[in-house]
Structure 1
Amino acid sequence: MNWKFWQKNKDTANPKKKKSKGREWTDAIIFAVVAATVIRVFFIEAYTIPTGSMERSLLVGDFLFVSKVNYGARIPMTPIAFPFAHHTMPLTGTKAYWDGVQWKYRRLPGLTNIKRNDVVVFNFPEGDTVALEQQDHNYYEMVRSLGWKAVNSQFTIVSRPVDKRENYIKRCIGIAGDVVSMKNGLVSVNGKPEKLKSTGQITYAVKFKTSEVNFSIFEGMGFDLQADITGLSQNTYEFTGTEPMMEQVRKLDFVESVQENTKPEGEQDLGVFPHDPARKWNVDNFGPITIPKKGWTVKLDSVTMPLYERSIRIYEGNKVEKVGKDWMINGQKADSYTFKMDYYWMQGDNRHNSLDSRFWGFVPEDHVVGKALFIWMSYNDKGSFFSKIRWSRLLKGIH
């Protein structure tokens, strides 16, 4: 028998069915979705700066690439979810995930550990509980202000898994094991003062010698006249700027004085972590606080528990109760606790306009999403299309 002839006839008798255009498009879309999801989960993800908490390092309208590789990609903890939607479907407003399946926290090996001054994207630690009608507000802050009963009776309250909480971006001020504190707006890490970098900013009280001031001069220094300068009293204004910018202001002959506008030491703000009446802390004066480290054992008492109870109970999943003067962890009396994860202290570079660790405390390692690498696009809302683009910021690295 002629084998080649038989094989040819066999192929002719059973020709391969050609895919329809619809099937080809479907296969291509499925492949693209799978490939994009793998890249987004394990390698790199786009991120947009929504608020001014990191100005002037990062501006509203900056589009970033965030690396999952640097710290090691986090294995999805909520694996069944709609592609490209974070926690809410864009049109229906319904959940974009199913939390019936939850995987334990695992992370692939990374290139490096989180270092001080890294700009990090992470899931909002206090985003475990959300009032759906007030998603722009922190649920726990609402409870402290209005009371638990009022909040839970007025709004629809839902809980979210770790990887489906809002994404935040801040600068890592302290890593696990560090001791952080702040005095008169200046952060200290392990007892060493750490001044704001040249792109970080706070508010200053600027007093002029005269009321006749041409404010356009400040535009040339980089100030936004509407956003960065506010009247306080006669001839005195609040400026928001970096230290180099404020040095230029000091040199003007019509400026009488420039002072950092910080809260006085000892003035209490219960909105500041750990919301403890026994601590007279505020956004410019707090600490010292030891950041928990995996394997570190802390004594449990009235001094430490306001700082660490949430980490022990919520982030590390223990049942914590106080019975009389004793603390019970998972039904057992405990006078100490050993942490299972590393934690971090994150703050915004726009120090007086940032909701950060000063308000909600530590960021657990399982909340870390990735490291911000560079800005691939940036635009503002002023001018024509091409003038809106901040050309000088394109492909700019983040430091």
Structure 2
Amino acid sequence: MCRLFVFDLFYIPSDSMEGVLYEKDIILVNKLSYGPKTINANPYTRTLDRRSEQIIKRLSGFSTIQRNDVVVFRFFKKNDFFVKRCVAIAGDSLYIKDGIVYVNGQIIKDSNQIKHKYLLDVKNKKAFQIIVNELGIVKSNESRKDNQYWANLSLEEIMKLSPFLNSFHKVKAKKTVKKKLFPKSISQEWTIDDYGVVFIPKQGYKMELNTENFRIYKGLIAKYEGAKINRIKNGFSVDGVRMTHYTFKQDYYFMMGDNRCNSYDSRFTGFIPKEKIVGKVSCVFFSNKDNQFQWGRIGKGV
């Protein structure tokens, strides 16, 4: 019963939260934080993997979802479990410029663990290779110059590498990824590093129905709100009734991975409704980082 209502264990299958959580980590998730769900499953060890469960009811939690919380949620298309960081909550507006996240017009300061893609110009390749191996950094040599490398790095890692570098700079994402982003119908040239502005829907918010909002929110409303919005002559209809506004039925959130240039998150999936959020990540339960058992990471909070 504790596994169903109080906490649960999840296995991390990817590097999208690398820096805080690593591939093959097992994490402890607190279901009481946002309110546990009663379900028709009786799992022993949960993984961030496909699974069929039917939610019966959600109980009240002792806290609300906050910006910077690391949470586990489910994505409707694959029915998989995901773990990401909540960067914007219901009622916020968000945009990303040059890889920097702005919420309600204010810069969201990255922690030292957030990773971005950098181009590195190396002083001494041999010395550089030694420190890279010590830090467990994966690099690639895609540059025309023999002493230049690409790597996904945190600020903390950049500072450790800086004595071995002539220079480094953050690399912006290419626009070719645009067609894969949410929403696919948007006309602007958005990328993972230049994205938005988007408004994160809030329960009870009355939104004007116009061409831009129709493009962004029509899929979300159909999948999560159980309503159908159509474009009609000189306006829009909701469930067959001509309407000028739509009122959202629940809260939504914008999630991003800490490994910003290698994360399948809300920039691709869209907003995540509260009903899909399982709980808040409390700590690392087991770690096999670099294929070695990590005693120092057991119980490490996020």
Calculate the TM-score normalised by the size of structure 1.
0.70
1-side partners of 2:84 and 2:278: how far apart?
A: 12
Matched, 1:394 2:298: yes
- Structure 2: unaligned runs, 5 residues or longer: none
The within-5 A match list for 1:1-399 is: 38-76=1-39, 79=40, 81=41, 83-84=43-44, 103=56, 106-127=57-78, 165-208=79-122, 214-220=128-134, 222-224=135-137, 228-233=138-143, 234=145, 235-252=147-164, 255-263=165-173, 269-380=178-289, 382=291, 388-398=292-302
Amino acid in the other structure paired with 2:9: A
Q: Within 2, Cα distance between the matches of 1:259 and 1:119?
A: 28
Q: Is the Cα–Cα contact under 8 Å of residues 85 and 96 in structure 1 kept in the other structure?
A: no
Cα 1:286–1:114 shift into 2, 3 Å: same
Cα distance between partner residues in 1 of 2:199 and 2:299: 37
Distance in 2, matches of 1:349 and 1:247, equals: 18
Instruction: Report how far residue 217 of structure 1 moved.
Output: 2.4
Which string of whole-angstrom CA distances, capped at 9 and with x for unpartnered residues, describes residues 262-286 of structure 1? Answer: 137x777121111135111000001
Does the CA contact (< 8 Å) of 1:268 and 1:280 recur in 2? Answer: no
Alignment RMSD: 2.4
Number of residue pairs aligned between Structure 1 and Structure 2: 299
Aligned residue for 2:118, secondary structure, equals: strand
Q: CA deviation at 1:84?
A: 4.5
Shift in Å at residue 259 of structure 1? Answer: 0.5
Percent of matched pairs sharing the same residue? 32
Look up the SS of the partner of 1:304 in the other structure: helix
> How many Å separate the matches in 2 of 1:212 and 1:370?
45
Unaligned runs of 5+ in 1: 1-37, 128-164, 383-387
Partner of 1:158: none
Q: Structure 2: which amino acid aligns with 1:182?
A: I
SS in 2 for 1:113: coil
Question: How far did residue 179 of structure 1 move?
Answer: 0.8
Name the SS for the 2:167 alignment partner: strand
Q: Separation in 2 of the partners of 1:282 and 1:309?
A: 21
Kindly state the Cα deviation for residue 290 of structure 1 after the two structures are TM-superposed: 0.9
Instruction: Flag as ranges the 4+ runs of structure 1 deviating above 6 A.
Output: none
SS in 1 for 2:180: coil
Q: For residues 109 and 70 of structure 1, what CA distance do their matches in structure 2 show?
A: 9
Deviation at 1:256, TM superposition (A): 2.5
Distance 2:75 2:209 in 1: 26
> Post-superposition shift, 1:392?
0.9
Higher relative contact order (CA 8 A, sep 6+): 2
Code of the residue aligned with 1:115 in structure 2: it is Q
